[in-house]
Amino acid sequence: MFAAIGRFVVRRAWWVVALWVVAGALVVVFAPSLKTTTNQADFLPGSYESVKAQRLQTSAFPVHHGGAVVVFQRADGGFLTDADNATVQRISGDLTAAHIPGIASMTPGPTSPDRLVQVAKVVIPTAGDPGAESSKDAIRGLRGALADAARGTGLTAGVAGPSATSVDEDEADEDAARTVAVATVVIILALLLLVFRSPVAALLPVVVIAGVYPVARGLIASVDDAFDLTAGTITTELLTVVLFGVGTDYTLFLLFRYREALRDGADSDTAVRHAVTRVGEAIASAAGVVVVAFAALTLSSLGLLRSLGPALALAVLVMLLAGLTLIPAIVSLLGPKVFWPSRSAQHRPAEGGAFTRLGQAVACRPARWAAGSALLMALLALGSLGYKPDFDLAGMATPSDAPSQVATRDLEEGFPAGVTAPTEVYLTATGAAAPTPEQLAAYGDALRVPGVVAVEKPRVSGNGRTAEFAVVQADAPSSAAAMDVLSDELRPAARQAAPPGTKALVGGATAVSVDTSSAVDHDYAVVFPVAAACILVILGLLLHSLVAPWLLMLSVALGFGATLGASTIVFRQFADQAGLVFVLPIVMYLFVVALGTDYNILMVSRLREESRAGRAPREATAGAVAASGPAIASAGLILTGTFATLLLGGNVTLVQLGFTLAFGIAVTAFVMAMLLTPALTALVGRRMWWPGHEADTAPDDPAGQAMSHNSR
């Protein structure tokens, strides 16, 4: 099949390019915009209690009681005076009377016991969904009006709360996307120039991927629109690095094999056909692994992952199609000029290069190399014992110097951290009688469990059948301590204290985090095994072996453990962070296992090819490392650099993702693919390919046969 694709692309190169241009333009013009959200509750299924509570709040209380908190301090850092309190009263009244769009009211609150902070509560009718555009527009309007109102008063005013964080997260995402995109292109260009010493070869993947990106994004938006999916903002950042990462990998694999064929004396068209034939199977299998692994996320109970999986799977499919058609067509049109001004395609490198020596070393002492690389990864994997998830996705995705984060820290100097997003407990009548005032008072007292510092007077719905209790915890809303209090103390107390004929629901930011934790535990038990089983099947079909896939998955498991362990050590021990973003293990598993398997597949395909040529296992190992090592090292270095650009994103989430994915790809390329896999193959020998035979018929490759004939 891949030989036929190679022949068609070479014969109809201009047609292929034109078809891509026309199809891409149509997709970009007619595709809807990509919808994203920052509201974590949007990602939970309706069966979870926090989602039920949010729905009840929407129906029983059309005007949300919460919204935002304005934090007032003296500009000189001094104690608030009675005159300052009066100023806060005046500003609150003036802004309420100003009818700022989206703001229902602003009410002065208490001054902190140390008289350093005073708050004012802001009611935003749509704040039940802090990521709603109307909520964010209200925050923007409030910030502008506050700046004018506080000018010349000697006070500073900041806005804290989930809606304010959503505004800052949006701005941070836009800045991060631009930074990551620019840094990705610069790093890829620099590394490709270093590898090929040719501006043409360096620009080729960048230009192609830049053209494919809007096509992939448009198709993703169309699919989301058709199936009513909403992507998380993290999808846009990951889409950039995934496309540039796998696109550069596929281009490198093709160019290295094309250059190898030219060095063997083939003409340009024959070399392109040969490259597509030999590399096509490897990259198609690698892409299949990635697509299946990403598609496994559709089994997730979290909408964030359920929308992320198909989006990235579709992007990889589009990039695979480009790798098999568009890139070979352009290479066919350019010919050897793709390496201009370098003459590397005309001359073989000197014998005894670094990868030749590495291949010989691994082949001579495979047991030592296998044990050493496995031990290194196992030791790193021990660090994963200290892994702890952090569910404050919005806070982690917002820079520490963002206005909402500064206001939150100021607030916590004088008030409990939980005041920014109180837990919402709803007591609803299920029978004919509504709760009495006495029952509501007793119920509020029952909610004062350890870890709760205040329970506000309940607000009763218009029909009197539902009461809302704002419960302020001592700890930050999505912290581990607040989650423990809610799951171990507050939720049980709310259920047990509910009077006969009533039902309790606990919602709010902390409840969403607790339910998200439960959903993630479910996903670990479902997504991981399904993805692993699918990858095993694909590897078995590719290699016609029952042994090789299991050995490869063993090495992948070690790589996963080593990556998680190293990340835990770096961020928990050295950076002293509360935890790792809760989606990290699943995203890391899919990226390190799926994308990293590209290199294992390329190496194993070459090992099989060398074995089919009649070479002994150790000789095949030496030859495969020497031949595939440069492509794997170059691709691994570039993909590592691509993921490392996320470190420039400016927030904790992207920094953690950037380090973890870059480290994981580096381990996969330089330890697993170039050391552990070849060493295991040399040790296992011909049994690696059982029950198939390494001498099975090679892929139909007339171009390769012609090259062999010409070389004799």
At residue 598, the pLDDT reads: 76
Q: Can you tell me the distance from the alpha carbon of 9 to that of 622, in angstroms, rounded to the nearest whole number?
A: 33
Residue 442 is encoded by which pair of tokens?
């007793």
Residue 259 is encoded by which pair of tokens?
């250059």
Of the listed ranges 3-17, 313-327, 636-650, the least confidently predicted one is 636-650
Tell me: pLDDT of 256 over 50.
yes
User: What is the per-residue DSSP string for 353-406?
Assistant: -HHHHHHHHHHHSHHHHHHHHHHHHHHHHGGGGG--EE--HHHHTS-TTSHHHH
**Sign of the alpha-carbon torsion through 686, 692, 695, 701:** negative
Burial group, residue 29, by CB count within 10 angstroms (0-12, 13-18, 19+): exposed
What's the whole-number mean pLDDT along residues 115-138? 81
pLDDT classification of 705: cutoffs 50, 70, 90: low
What's the whole-number mean pLDDT along residues 156-180? 83
At residue 698, the pLDDT reads: 47
What's the whole-model pTM score? 0.79
Tell me: pLDDT of 352 over 80.
no
Tell me: pLDDT of 251 over 80.
yes
HSE (CB half, 13 Å, CA atoms) of 693? 5
What's the whole-number mean pLDDT along residues 531-560? 85
What's the whole-number mean pLDDT along residues 689-693? 73
**Do 196 and 342 meet the contact criterion of CB atoms below 8 Å apart?**
yes
Q: Of 164 and 701, which is predicted with more confidence?
A: 164
Tell me: pLDDT of 428 over 60.
yes
pLDDT digits (tens, 9 = 90+) for 474-484: 998 888 899 99
Q: Can you tell me the distance from the alpha carbon of 617 to that of 140, in angstroms, rounded to the nearest whole number?
A: 66
**Do 452 and 490 meet the contact criterion of CB atoms below 8 Å apart?**
yes
At residue 237, the pLDDT reads: 66
Peptide bond into 310 cis (omega under 30): no
Place of tokens 């299949």: 288
Q: Of 293 and 698, which is predicted with more confidence?
A: 293
pLDDT digits (tens, 9 = 90+) for 174-232: 777 778 778 878 888 888 888 888 999 989 988 998 899 889 888 888 877 777 666 65
pLDDT classification of 694: cutoffs 50, 70, 90: very low
| Nearest CA-CA partner of 73 in 112, 123, 121, 122 | 112
Q: Can you tell me the distance from the alpha carbon of 85 to that of 119, in angstroms, rounded to the nearest whole number?
A: 10
Tell me: pLDDT of 696 over 50.
no
Tell me: pLDDT of 689 over 90.
no
User: With DSSP H G I counted as helix, E B as strand and the rest as coil, what are the percentages for the chain, rounded to 5?
Assistant: 70, 10, 20
Q: Can you tell me the distance from the alpha carbon of 274 to that of 260, in angstroms, rounded to the nearest whole number?
A: 10
pLDDT classification of 691: cutoffs 50, 70, 90: confident
At residue 322, the pLDDT reads: 93
Tell me: pLDDT of 687 over 60.
yes
**Helix, strand or coil for residue 200?**
helix
Q: Can you tell me the distance from the alpha carbon of 554 to that of 557, in angstroms, rounded to the nearest whole number?
A: 5
pLDDT classification of 324: cutoffs 50, 70, 90: very high
**Do 657 and 584 meet the contact criterion of CB atoms below 8 Å apart?**
yes
pLDDT classification of 347: cutoffs 50, 70, 90: low
**H-run or E-run covering 429:** strand 423-429
Average pLDDT over the chain reads 86
Strands 105-111 and 452-455 come out as unpaired
| Nearest CA-CA partner of 419 in 389, 452, 395, 448 | 452
SS3 per-residue string spanning 519-546: HHHHHHHHHHHHHHHHHHHHHHHHHCEC
At residue 180, the pLDDT reads: 78
pLDDT classification of 91: cutoffs 50, 70, 90: very high
Q: Can you tell me the distance from the alpha carbon of 612 to that of 702, in angstroms, rounded to the nearest whole number?
A: 16
Tell me: pLDDT of 701 over 60.
no
The rounded percent of the chain whose pLDDT value lies above 70 is 91
At residue 697, the pLDDT reads: 44
Q: Of 555 and 94, which is predicted with more confidence?
A: 94
Which of 101-110, 118-127, 299-308, 637-646 ranks highest by mean pLDDT?
101-110
The CA-to-CA distance between both ends of the chain, in Å, stands at 27
Identity of the residue numbered 103: I
**H-run or E-run covering 466:** strand 466-473
What's the whole-number mean pLDDT along residues 337-341? 91
At residue 76, the pLDDT reads: 93
DSSP β-bridge partners for residue 156: 73
Q: Of 371 and 294, which is predicted with more confidence?
A: 371
The rounded percent of the chain whose pLDDT value lies above 90 is 42
Q: Of 59 and 32, which is predicted with more confidence?
A: 59
What's the whole-number mean pLDDT along residues 156-160? 94
